[in-house]
Amino acid sequence: MVKTSTTTAGRSTSQGSTRVQPRARAVERRVRCARTVRAAGGVSGGEGKDFMKRAFERARGMLENVGERTGVATSGMKCDIDAPTWGELERMLSELPQEPVDDEVSDASASERLFGTTSIPRVKLYRDSASWCPYSQKIWMQLEEKRIPYVKEKINMRCYGLKPESFMKIAPSGALPVIELDGQVISESSVIARVIEDEFPEHKPLLPYVPGSAEGERARYLMQMERALFGRWMQWITSSWSDGSGYSAYSEVLDSVDAELGSGGGPYFMGSDFTMVDIAFAPFLERMASSILYYKGVKIEGNGGRWPHLDSWFAAMANRKTYRGIKSDYYTTAHDLPPQLGGCAENGDNVSARDAIDGVDGVNWRLPLGPLNEKSLEPWWSSDDPVAARIEAARKIVSNHTNVVRFAARGCGEPGKPSYSAPLSDPNARPGEAHIPAVDAALRCVVHAMLQPDVASAQGPAKNAGMFDADATSASLAYLRDRVGVPRDMSYPAARQFRAYLNWAIERL
């Protein structure tokens, strides 16, 4: 029997002049979420008013203590959890059918991509560790589409960690991405992209147009349009001044982008062929779709009519195997952009979408989850398979459970010093060592629930196994929930299931 005490964790983090103390506000929204669910009459499973009172008081206590650590508390709130061992969970997974590995699907966790070759790759790609950098994404996608063998080294972005000295020696600016081609260091994504096209002509050309040809001129014009759209987006998303004019200016260029997609025959910018033009647009259209909805309340992906050709492009991209393993989700992107851009500005019309994306509206990130499709708040352009998504999430956690448990236990531990501007990253944080057995047990319960949802949901956390304080464990599960990154950790459907099941456990604690 493990008996641990409570450590209440909360702190504020500045991520730019336009968004102050985002973690404090996130906690405040979770308080409002508790009020919403309580007003609706409780949660599924008959937990009732007593649970909601405890959940609300716990959330209010976290809000009051944002920015400070209170050390060991004596709330006396205890909870029991029973779950299979990690070995038993691994056996359960081994008995399930597993899809064969498809090497056409990009793998964010892979350290090398050989595409069936046996020779030493000529290319080494340095990209960011969290899969946040749009310029790294361009080169990553280009290598995957051309199926050029490469090895990969992940480097921190400055907003969430230090860069290793070994990298700074070859790239003194520290900027990403960087490649080594036959030992030669090349930086700047636009230069890297041209070099890759020139050096590997035998691999699927992605800009196969004669300079000066009609196709070549169209590709050049579209690349310029991408930069114009980027500029309008940056002006709007980072400013709280003249929001209406910012929307109009951005939409004007997006209307032109949609028209060009239609005139070219689609679904891609150069017609039926996927090219470097699509690679140029992809990282930023992806970030625009999430950030504009989150901070401005405007839906550009799955808009419902204004930009139909853009929706066809989003759908075609989502079904490309290379992009499937590279694309992020709205939540990850909405929170990783401010530390990169110096802040993003909300306009007040975004509250409903923001709270839904953050999973604090009492509906999203809550069981039972509704289906994913093209009409979802975050459109899903492929088939929805929740069982496969839960299995994917379970495999990811079980295969790395020791590290995941310790990472989650940072939620009841000590914040890192020095801190970084990215609220979803705290690389120097220390876990609450005394609570690790309890966090381990709770996480096993979550994985068990994902693998056997009917049995687990009916049973809930079982009694008579290990008594421990609920607050520290709940804080740890919440810390993990809020830091599941796509695609770094798992796909969006898997992350969606995992976040909801973490909330399921938190609610029962």
pLDDT digits (tens, 9 = 90+) for 423-443: 788 888 999 999 999 999 999
pLDDT of 289 above 80: yes
- Averaged pLDDT, 458-463: 50
Considering only 47-61, 251-265, 348-362, which range has the smallest mean pLDDT?
47-61
Measure the CA–CA gap between 59 and 66, rounded to whole angstroms.
11
- Averaged pLDDT, 217-221: 96
123-154: pLDDT as tens digits: 999 999 999 999 999 999 999 999 999 999 99
Residues 6+ apart with CB under 8 A from 287: 134, 333, 337
Are 238 and 341 spatial neighbours (Cβ–Cβ below 8 Å)? Answer: yes
Residues 6+ apart with CB under 8 A from 75: 6, 469, 471
Helices 470-481 and 401-408 sit at what angle, rounded to 10 degrees?
110
How high is the pLDDT of residue 75?
35
pLDDT band at 457 (very low <50, low <70, confident <90, very high): low
pLDDT of 192 above 70: yes
Cis before residue 418, ω within 30 degrees of 0? yes
pLDDT band at 465 (very low <50, low <70, confident <90, very high): very low
Residues 6+ apart with CB under 8 A from 300: 254, 288, 289, 292, 293, 307, 310
Q: What is the mean pLDDT of the chain?
A: 85
How high is the pLDDT of residue 509?
83
Residue 249's SS3 state is: helix
Cis before residue 427, ω within 30 degrees of 0? no
pLDDT band at 363 (very low <50, low <70, confident <90, very high): very high
State the alpha helices, DSSP H only, in 150-203. Answer: 165-170, 189-199
> Is the model more confident about 469 or about 122?
122
- Averaged pLDDT, 238-254: 96
Considering only 14-28, 98-112, 127-141, 250-264, which range has the smallest mean pLDDT?
14-28
pLDDT of 36 above 70: no
pTM, full prediction: 0.85
Measure the CA–CA gap between 117 and 106, rounded to whole angstroms.
16
How high is the pLDDT of residue 57?
41
Residues 6+ apart with CB under 8 A from 41: none
